[in-house]
């Protein structure tokens, strides 16, 4: 088979390419078609571990979610080139799932010629195995300063002879100029591939748009095939950056009103506030999106001590992953957040660290290979992390220890797991609310992407100050008080069993999952696209 290709282009970054591509993947899959996503080059520190010829490798999270929406097995061909920014002018280059140091050192324009044959082959292979390939572009296809080195927009569209949708963010203003200007800057053979314009994030009466869509069609010959209403909480992680800095409460509503209005509409009162520390080099932040979909959970991204000063012990602080753990740890200290996190932990408050966050919770970061940098840790777990030159990248299926119950922790404490004081680590009494005990014995799956390996601090262990290993192989550690948990396992909140264990008992019903989000996206575009427009994209050019 040779798949028909449908491509989503945008007039700007943030226009809505990623979520629309995801919606199309589920829409076409529900038509009984075999579907795969594709994005030639992605720039993001949000990555997932998938199958590759060399075992396992990394792709951008957006393509991972798009594959799940298509009910396809994610693999590296769906995002053959991933750029992971490490500094403002440097990125780690991941080609077909594997880090390439030579490409990471190469000039960007020179790199394009080297990687294009690999990109084209990956796309051709997916086309040979599927009925439809839904392709996502990047930025704008009309960035004329970059067009000679393009490997992600119109070069891909021409190679696949894709039927292209051009989407714009009408909420920013100037949408018709953006659409017309993008079209006008493209050469004629590229214009011919654009089959429809999409107005995204519209608020108000769509009838007021007339006669602009028809005027635009008169100028370009291209119809506006959809006007999509503003939809803040569609449930899909945003591809880039913190999805919003406004505290939100999971309610299933499709907009983001002020907090008071939310309560007035009958939304549930927050049972748990989850504060995620948003340091500068945060990575894999999109794995927390499912928390926004859980009723009764109030999610907030924090960057100052004042934002977490009033937390209750039952509220959570999460230290997420980092692309530069030692640098983000220094930033954390400069903001005074280290003391605020320690204070919350010392009062028995729930603290979780994931990947780089786990490393921060320990006593020290040791970097013999110059990978990340040396630094003292926060001292909330008696652990030491040593960075290694080789990166660990793998899928992981594991089970939490049964000792994560109050009885198990108490038994471990009397057996020598003593929460002894240290110079930096506050002592917390046994947490009465057992924040993580509901995970005891739960089997979970996720992924690892890290350079460091973390083990108990030898001297502290000899003195009886020992962390509980709650995931085998050094993947998870807990303090004996039970309130501080560190994990190397990414994707905990994307695992249905973990979500149900953490939140399901409160509501006596299933917690919303990503699969329900994908169906909601498909329903949305089916409702708002012009009748027949999505099927027309599959017709021969």
Q: Which domains, ranges and CATH numbers included, belong to the chain?
A: 4-233+517-535 (3.40.50.300), 272-505 (3.40.50.880)
> Could you tell me where the DSSP H helices lie in 243-396?
259-264, 289-292, 325-334, 337-346, 356-361
CA distances from 85 to 108, 246, 353, 489 (A): 13, 25, 22, 22
- What is the reported pLDDT for 255? 29
CA proximity to 344, closest of 375, 307, 376: 307
* The one catalytic residue among 355, 450, 451, 457: 355
Which residues in the chain show pLDDT less than 50?
Answer: 241-243, 245-268, 406-407, 413-432
Name the residue with tokens 């061909």: 77
Q: What is the predicted pLDDT for the residue at 267? A: 44
Active site annotation includes 164: no
Give the C-alpha separation, 446 to 449, whole Å: 10
Nearest to 394 by CA among 270, 489, 509, 299: 489
pLDDT confidence of residue 471: 95
Q: Do 435 and 338 meet the contact criterion of CB atoms below 8 Å apart?
A: no
CA dihedral 20, 23, 24, 30 (to 10 degrees): -170
Nearest by Cα to 195 from 2, 7, 3, 4: 7
Residue 466: helix, strand or coil by DSSP?
Answer: coil
Confidence (pLDDT) at 504: 79
What pLDDT is attached to residue 270? 58
Specify whether 490 is catalytic.
yes
Q: List the catalytic residue out of 344, 450, 451, 490.
A: 490
Instruction: With beta carbons less than 8 A apart as the criterion, state whether 247 and 259 touch.
Output: yes
- The pLDDT, as a whole number, for residue 433 is 57
**ω into 211 cis (within 30 of 0):** yes
pTM listed for this prediction: 0.76
Which run of H or E residues covers position 123?
A: helix 108-129
Q: What is the pLDDT of residue 87?
A: 66
User: The tokens of 250 are what?
Assistant: 């999971």
Q: In this predicted structure, what is the pLDDT of residue 434? A: 74
């Amino acid at each position: 088979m040779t798949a028909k290709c449908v491509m989503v282009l945008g007039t700007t970054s943030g226009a809505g390419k990623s979520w629309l591509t995801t919606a199309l993947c589920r829409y076409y899959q529900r038509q009984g078609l075999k579907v795969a996503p594709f994005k030639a080059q992605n720039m993001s520190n949000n990555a997932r571990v998938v199958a590759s010829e060399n075992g396992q490798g990394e792709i951008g999270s957006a393509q991972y979610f798009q594959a799940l929406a298509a009910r396809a097995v994610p693999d590296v061909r769906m995002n053959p080139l991933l750029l992971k920014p490490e500094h403002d002018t440097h990125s780690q280059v991941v080609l077909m799932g594997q880090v390439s140091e030579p490409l990471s050192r190469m000039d960007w324009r020179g790199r394009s010629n080297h990687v294009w044959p690999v990109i084209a082959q990956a796309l051709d292979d997916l086309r040979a195995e599927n009925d439809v390939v839904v392709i996502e572009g990047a930025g704008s296809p009309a960035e004329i300063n970059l067009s000679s080195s393009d490997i992600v927009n119109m070069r891909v569209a021409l190679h696949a002879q894709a039927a292209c949708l051009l989407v714009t963010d009408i909420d920013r203003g100037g949408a018709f100029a953006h659409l017309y200007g993008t079209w006008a800057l493209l050469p004629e053979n590229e214009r011919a591939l654009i089959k429809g314009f999409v107005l995204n994030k519209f608020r108000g009466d769509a009838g007021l748009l007339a006669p602009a869509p028809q005027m635009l069609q008169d100028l370009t010959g291209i119809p506006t095939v959809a006007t999509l209403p503003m939809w803040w909480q569609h449930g899909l992680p945003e591809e880039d950056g913190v999805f919003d800095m406004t505290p939100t409460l999971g309610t299933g509503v499709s907009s983001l009103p002020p907090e008071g209005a939310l309560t007035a509409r009958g939304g549930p009162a927050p049972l748990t506030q989850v504060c995620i520390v948003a340091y500068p080099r945060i990575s894999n932040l999109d794995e927390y999106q499912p928390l926004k979909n859980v009723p009764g959970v109030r999610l907030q991204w924090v960057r100052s001590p004042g934002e977490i000063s009033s937390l209750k012990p039952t509220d959570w602080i999460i230290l997420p992953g980092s692309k530069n753990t030692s640098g983000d740890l220094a930033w954390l200290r400069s903001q005074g957040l280290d003391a605020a996190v320690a204070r919350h932990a010392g009062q028995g408050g729930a603290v979780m660290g994931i990947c780089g966050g786990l490393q921060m919770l320990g006593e020290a970061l040791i970097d013999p290979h110059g990978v990340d940098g040396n630094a003292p840790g926060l001292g909330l777990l008696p652990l030491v992390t040593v960075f290694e030159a080789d990166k660990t990248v793998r899928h992981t299926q594991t089970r939490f220890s049964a000792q994560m119950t109050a009885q198990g922790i108490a038994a471990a404490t009397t057996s020598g797991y003593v929460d002894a004081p240290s110079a930096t680590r506050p002592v917390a009494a046994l947490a009465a609310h057992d924040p993580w005990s509901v995970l005891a014995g739960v089997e979970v799956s996720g992924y690892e992407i890290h350079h460091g390996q973390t083990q108990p601090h030898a001297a502290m262990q000899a003195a009886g100050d020992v962390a509980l290993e709650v995931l085998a192989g050094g993947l998870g550690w807990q303090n004996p008080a039970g309130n501080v948990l560190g994990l190397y396992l990414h994707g905990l909140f994307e695992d249905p069993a973990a979500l149900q264990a953490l939140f399901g008992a409160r509501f006596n019903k299933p917690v919303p999952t990503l699969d329900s989000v994908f169906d909601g996206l498909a329903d949305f575009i089916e409702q708002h696209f012009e009748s027949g427009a999505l099927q027309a994209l599959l017709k021969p050019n």
